[in-house]
Amino acid sequence: MPPTGTPIPTDARALRDAANQHLFVGMNNAAQLAEEGGPGVPIEAKGIRFKDIDGKWYSDAISGMYFRNVGFGREEIARAVYDQLRTVNMHVYASAAPATIRLAAKLAELTPGSLSRTFFTQGGSESNESSIKMAQAYHVRRGDKGRHKVISRRGSYHGGTIGTQWLGGHPGFPRTDYQPVPAHSTVHIGQPNPYRCEYGGRDPEECATLCAKALETAILFEGADSVSAFIAEPVSQPLGGVVAGPGYWPRVREICDKYGVVLIFDEVITGFGRLGTWFGANFVGVTPDIMSFAKGVTSGYFPYGGSIATKEIADVFSGGPDKTFKHMFTYTGHPAGAAAGLANIEILERENVIENSRARGVQLKDRLTEMKEKHPIIGDVRGAGLIQGLELVKDRKTKEHFDPKVGVNSRLTAALKKRGVWLRVPAYILPFAPPLVITADEIEELANAADESLTEVEKGLGV
């Protein structure tokens, strides 16, 4: 009989039995995890590494879930949260703590263009929900009541709530249990992925042109007066870091302006340095009307996020009771999260973390490109900064994927784990997104482990 009751925190076996009986682990199931020896149970951490309860150290190659920008073990962020909680743990209705106000002002300074007013949330899905509500309310307030549709791109991920789950389409997160698609809002177009251009583009530039054209076609087909917003990540993660070819983003900006469609950047992953620039907007050279952010704003030290709007959008919600943005969450602007955000940003600035992300990204790209020469199952290397990925294929010519039953992803996950790299490989993309503080030696270590793991898996597959 497994033990019952609350396990003591040092008993690995009892903790894993309790997890098996009592815990939902996101996008995993208990029986599957139990077969693999149970979920990871981290108990100690520093820099890019954590120690599992069994005593083995792993490097975190995916930044937890793309959030651990400044790495583990940052005393000063923990201290900032502690200090805030012991003074005012959460402000009262119609007020804002100094930390919350200071973070909003800091974000206005860091973000490009006139992005200047933030609605704070507890994470990425809430940020996208807030951005979408803000876009629709903006149109309504200006007398454009019919604009409620949101255009997004297949292959993107924008969240797990009832509202956001229908945007994009993550290959590893099928929505088969949640049908039917709500009739109200979502329109999908293709992702500017030059390796598999949906519209037949033969090079990145042609793919970019055709994908931007697809946005205009969708707006015209739906009727511009029914479209509220276009939401997209400057570089999209689910397919391993899709970087659009030249011209895509300026053209998207032009199209949105031409038809009065609000451009929302989902910077939940790309914000705060992951692309080697402060924001994806800086990376692509285009400023959105609203930017959603989360994850890297606190590097995971507090669940936090937000939607920052340009002055033009924000001003519509200011001036009298009828102007209020009618939207809230109980914990909007939680001061402990704001304190974590301020301390996190201070580290990003002081330690030149953004520059490190850029340099380590170049180093990683070189190593992955070299690996492609050697490993026939690598179909494509893509990404920028410290969001990169390999697309795994059975046949480079036809670009056919392996049958999921072959379990190329679980084989790779196991091979990497054996080598001390923590990374769950979803479907056919091997993603890399280590903390932005990773050193040059640690990049070499990670690349060597990936190289050896690919060799082991290819051998097992008889490739």
Ligand X SMILES: Cc1ncc(COP(=O)(O)O)c(C=O)c1O
Residues that bind ligand X (CB under 6 A): 65-66, 123-125, 128, 157-160, 233, 237, 266, 268-269, 294
Distances (CA, A) of 57 to 45, 63, 423: 9, 15, 13
Nearer to ligand X, 216 or 266 (CB): 266
Q: How far is the CB of 350 from ligand X (least distance, A)?
A: 26
Identify the CA nearest to 179 among candidates 158, 159, 162, 199: 162
Closest distance of CB 439 from ligand X, Å: 25
> Cβ of 213: how many Cβ atoms within 10 Å?
14
Least Å from the CB of residue 375 to ligand X: 27
Q: How far is the CB of 64 from ligand X (least distance, A)?
A: 10
Q: Which residues contact 353 (CB under 8 A, 6 or more apart)?
A: 69, 70, 273, 347, 436, 437
Q: In terms of CB distance, is 66 or 432 closer to ligand X?
A: 66
Of 187, 190, 196, residue with least CA distance to 156: 190
When the beta carbons of 77 and 387 are compared against ligand X, the nearer one is 387
Least spacing, CB of residue 65 vs ligand X, in Å: 6
Least spacing, CB of residue 61 vs ligand X, in Å: 16
Rounded CA-CA distance 250/266 in Å is 17
Q: Which is nearer to ligand X, 233 or 289 (CB)?
A: 233
- Alpha-carbon span 198 to 211, nearest angstrom: 8
Phi, psi of 152 (to 5 degrees): -140, 180
**Nearest to ligand X of 53, 62 (CB atom):** 62
Strand runs (DSSP E) across 138-252, as ranges?
Answer: 149-153, 186-189, 227-232
Q: Please state the φ and ψ torsions of residue 354, each to the nearest 5 degrees.
A: -65, -40
124 or 241: CB nearest ligand X: 124
Measured CA to CA, the distance from residue 367 to residue 206 in angstroms comes to: 27
Q: Which residue is nearest to ligand X (CB)?
A: 124
Closest contact distance (angstroms) between CB of 237 and ligand X is 5
Which amino acid makes up residue 240? G
Question: Is 158 or 382 the residue whose CB approaches ligand X more closely?
Answer: 158
| CA dist list (Å): 429 to 161, 381, 407, 424, 434 | 24, 10, 12, 10, 15
Q: How far is the CB of 203 from ligand X (least distance, A)?
A: 26
Closer to ligand X by Cβ: residue 123 or 273: 123
Nearer to ligand X, 66 or 138 (CB): 66
In whole angstroms, the minimum distance from the beta carbon of 434 to ligand X comes to 16
For ligand X, the closer CB: 66 or 283? 66
Going from the C-alpha of 100 to that of each of 87, 335, 457, the distances in angstroms are 14, 5, 48
Task: State which residue, 259 or 331, has the beta carbon closest to ligand X.
Answer: 331
Question: Which residue's CB is nearer to ligand X, number 66 or number 402?
Answer: 66
Residue type, 257: D
Residue 31 identity: A
Strand partners, 124: none
Per-residue CA distances from 72 to 49, 111, 341 (Å): 7, 25, 15
Of 174, 78, 142, 49, the C-alpha closest to 438 is 49
- As measured in angstroms, the least distance from the Cβ of 289 to ligand X is 17
State how far the alpha carbon of 354 is from the alpha carbons of 255, 260, 273, in Å: 31, 33, 5
The answer to whether the beta carbons of residues 443 and 367 sit under 8 Å apart is yes
Closest contact distance (angstroms) between CB of 241 and ligand X is 12
Least separation in angstroms between CB 33 and ligand X: 19
Q: How far apart are CA 240 and CA 237, in angstroms?
A: 5
